[in-house]
Chain A
Amino acid sequence: MRHEVRFSGFGGQGIILSAVILGRAAAIYDQKYAVQTQVYGPEARGGASMSAVIIDDEPILYPKVRNPDIFVIMSQQGFEKYGRNTRKDAMMLLDSDLVYDRPSCRWIGIPATGTAKKELGREIVANIIMLGALTGATTVVSEEALEKAILDSVPKGTEDLNIRAMKRGHELGKEDRKQ
């Protein structure tokens, strides 16, 4: 089963790291194939940021995302650029604190930035909440693989915070999906 996952948001939110973690979870801990790419522009922090992961049971030949079936959108600008014309059967997780529009495909609003700030005290883990939500809402990677990949990727001393963010995201992703 091939999945194409598109992340978008603004620079500094960890959009590229999110894709790297997801790809690592799939390729190393779920024993699938994964390729991670990004729009690698000269954007500074605050500019639009996009990254992508393809996850497949078979080797991935053409490495670029063509028609994503899963979106993780963390800014209004990111939605406008990548979220408007999705395929009908796509699933979109959006940060409901930062994205005002809603897509025509299936979607789940995750209050990631607010939850990160209020419940966990660190806005910076909003992207990890979104990754956790992905395991709650889809089967693209397993929760165990994601947890290991997060632990590989986050700075020492922040493991506990990040795992709490992932678990909270998982719950949010599982909650009522009809909004």
Chain B
Amino acid sequence: MQGNIASAEGALAAGCNFFAGYPITPSTEIAEHMAARLPKRKGACFIQMEDEIASMAAIIGAAWTGARAMTATSGPGFSLMMENIGYAVMSETPCVIVNVQRGGPSTGQPTMAAQGDMMQVRFGSHGDYSIIALCPSSVQECFDLTAKAFNLADQFRTPVFLMADEVIGHMRERIDLPDEVMVIRPRPLPEGVLPFTPVDNGVPGFASFGTGRRIPVTGLTHNEQGYPDTTNPARHESLVRRLVSKIEDARHEIADFQVVNEDAAFIFVCYGAPVRTVQEVVDRRRVPDTGYLKLRIVWPFPEKLLQRFTNVRAFIVPEMNLGMISREIERHVQVPVIPIGKIGGELHTPEELIEAVHFAGGDA
């Protein structure tokens, strides 16, 4: 199965019943597959929208009707979605956005792989906020992490992003489809509690439209009833601090990662397609004294994980960008962080990573 199809299947397994999108390379297979599959499901809906601005708006609307809603895009479409992503953050709308990353900026390299949107996903919309971003490094993880994204979106009432890349999206591998996937829906909004009063670790309950509760939904700074209240500094501060902390405070609890050779001197930190090259180098023992931290959830960034590597002499961070997550790591550690940024559309080769270990002072 292809990575993109696995993402679509993971969404369907998680009960996704609404997809709105505008096809764009290299994510198109997701929209194609959802267009073929969703109309056959009772109560489910696929809409091809006029653009990505509308696609994002449509999934927000659908989510407020109680749907499990998703869209899929790549860089240029992702840029267009930014305004409404902010709206989803502010209105605490659970939804899933898949970005199969390609070379940018602008229309860039439609058919080539990149990880250049890793900062955009974190900071691309205006204002202070936080989100959750997952990165698959296999076709199996395209399935598993897309399904998981829906649960995190509902659990935290936030947009959740599957930040795939062209390598993984278009690769075909065998996968094992589970009989069923775990489904976590939002906590219901308790009787007598206001719609934006946090009920559990900063997250409010959720009542969709048509269930009897009156819920104003706005992108303006609002009170716990949902009504705009835009000039009260304390109101704004407490709301935005809660939007950030409901996610950041959970960053170690939701961390999803794999550690190999914790005691090694040279530790790769990786996510997405470069994980595969790191595994080739470390798991196959192509170079001694190396290990890795593979992140399946990159944002919120679980910086405590970096402290496990007590013998580390350097962190090596291969990314298909000019160094994005490497800087996040640098903020948290005392040892050298060596970014191996590669752009142009091709995955790092094993030789390039071995050379990086030598550069860091590792033995041949």
Binding site for B on A (CB under 8 A): 20, 23, 27-28, 33-38, 40-42, 60-64, 66
Contact = CB atoms under 8 A, between A and B. Distances in A.
A40 B170 contact: yes
B330 interface: no
21 contacts: A20-B172, A33-B174, A34-B173, A34-B174, A35-B173, A36-B173, A37-B167, A37-B170, A37-B172, A38-B170, A42-B25, A42-B110, A61-B277, A61-B283, A62-B276, A62-B280, A62-B349, A62-B350, A63-B167, A63-B171, A63-B347
A89 B90 CA distance: 61
The B interface, classified by DSSP as helix, strand, loop or mixed, is mixed
B65 to A, nearest CB: 36
B111 A62 contact: no
A36 B172 contact: yes
Contacts of B280: 61-62
Contact of B171 (A27, A28, A37, A66): A37
> What 9 A-B pairs have minimum CB-CB distances, sorted nearest first?
A62-B280, A36-B172, A27-B174, A61-B280, A61-B279, A40-B111, A35-B173, A63-B276, A62-B277
Given A42-B110, A42-B111, A61 B172 contact: no
Contacts of B349: 62, 64, 66
B353 to A, nearest CB: 10
B284 A61 contact: yes
Contacts of A66: 349
Given A20-B172, A34-B174, 11 more contacts: A34-B173, A35-B173, A36-B172, A36-B173, A38-B170, A40-B26, A41-B111, A42-B25, A42-B111, A64-B347, A64-B349
- On chain B, which size bracket covers the interface? 20 to 34
B166 interface: yes
Contacts of B284: 61
Contacts of A37: 167, 170-172
Interface in B348-362: 349-350
Interface of B: 25-26, 110-111, 166-167, 170-174, 276-277, 279-280, 283-284, 346-347, 349-350
A41 B110 CA distance: 8
A66 B352 CA distance: 13
Contacts of B346: 64
A148 B174 CA distance: 16
Contact of B172 (A35, A41, A42, A62): A35
Nearest to A66: B349
A6 to B, nearest CB: 15
A154 to B, nearest CB: 17
A61 B348 CA distance: 13
Nearest to B346: A64
A64 B345 CA distance: 13
B285 to A, nearest CB: 12
A6 B155 CA distance: 45
Nearest to A41: B111
Nearest to A32: B174
Contacts of A42: 25, 110-111
Nearest to B282: A61
A35 B170 contact: no
Contacts of A34: 172-174
B261 to A, nearest CB: 15
A52 to B, nearest CB: 11
B166 A40 contact: yes
B171 A36 contact: yes
Contacts of B171: 35-37, 63
B322 to A, nearest CB: 21
Given A40-B111, A42-B110, A61-B279, A23 B172 contact: yes
B199 to A, nearest CB: 44
A34 B175 CA distance: 11
A28 B175 CA distance: 10
B4 to A, nearest CB: 11
Contacts of B277: 61-62
Contacts of A36: 171-173
Q: Which of B166, B171, B349, B350 has the most CB of A within 10 A?
A: B171
B355 to A, nearest CB: 15
Contacts of A28: 174
